Structure 1
Amino acid sequence: MAQDMAEEEDTPEERLARLVLSLRSQGVSDPAVLKAIEATPRDLFTPDLFKERAWEDSALPIACGQTISQPFIVGLMSQALKIEPRSRVLEIGTGSGYQTTILSRLARLVYTVERYRTLLSEAELRFKTLGLTNVVTRFGDGGEGWPEQAPFDRIMVTAAAPEEPKTLLAQLKPHGILVAPIGRGPVQSLRRYVGDGQGGFVVETLTDVRFVPLLEGVAREP
């Protein structure tokens, strides 16, 4: 009983500390990534119905049938990008803005594209609340990337592309890195593409993941 009461009285800071320890134990070891996660209040990005679960290492539903990714996957993908302080990063799929915020704490500039206007508007309010000044947003088709701002040092795709995203890979710098879930089924392969400087890529499969699909166009909302 005493232990149950103690767990109920845990502060958000204590829950966050446990989450970070869990991420470390699963292989998220990059100090900059862990620091970015520690500095980002995940409950700000979580719907009221799920705020008590904000510090769980699990994906949670958000508006428009989308999800806020599992913190381990956020950490893993951020780490896999090997972001440098001067990096310009393109994110496909703003969603709640949680992953965007992590990226903004690692990179010089983050360009993020979202096909749901409602999600983008809500994320923009969160960026303003957090005082982020290095995030540029766009309402549009993520599969098209952001050619006017290309080439990018890094690209992260937070929805499952059915096949190799050639349009996005073409917007990378010669030695850039793209991380994306690839596959048509309910389980996809998380892959890292590293430019070889000659127009080709070294491709590495990191793990199996479950993401919502990357869809063409922008969403029609009520």
Structure 2
Amino acid sequence: MTAPPTVRIIAGHTGSGKTEVAVSLALHLAAAGRRVALADLDVVNSSFRSRERAALMEARGIRIISSSPGHGAAIDLPAISAEVRGPLHDPAVDVILDVGGDNVGARALTTLTQDIVQRGYDLLLVVNAYRPDTNTVDGVVGHLHAIELTTGLRFTGLISNTHAIQATTAQDVLNGCDLTRQVSELTGLPVQYVTATPVVLRDLPADLPGERLPLGLFMRDEWM
């Protein structure tokens, strides 16, 4: 049975790849025929923002919401667009909220807490075992608790997203899955998604927990 549309909040430490996950998830849902809106709520970081790929997503029918007029990368307003409340109150739309990289960035969610709780949500933590601040169980759980304390929302699941960019191997992904599994066992949170490029996904064992999410490298230009 196809799950009903919901709000998915994508959070993770700076450099975890959360924006890449958010964009890939939006494209994945849209390809399945879902109505999708993605809101760039990252008011902390000035680069690698989901709005930078607005043209790509809008061409696939995805509604993009940001604090920047025309989604321009060089123009930013330190505020959350009220436009995001429209999709939040439309039960026929899958909403993806891409938030800042730490508890300070996640504070932007507090202006939408009532709308989010009323609609129902999944708050998903992106776990990348190759980032120095989240390469241990204690590091991941500490980050998780800081975001919960700031936002008043509770995490509902985990996303395993360990990678080495273009050089990622199946073993890299498995290394990250092991850390994510340990966090899952400690917190009771399920592994919602395991991400990797389509080529690497085919090499993963079938018994890994979590839905496979094909990951694009949309946020990195070819020279990166």
* TM-score (norm. length: structure 2): 0.32
Task: Identify, as 1 or 2, the structure richer in strand.
Answer: 1
Give the alignment's TM-score, normalised by structure 1. Answer: 0.32
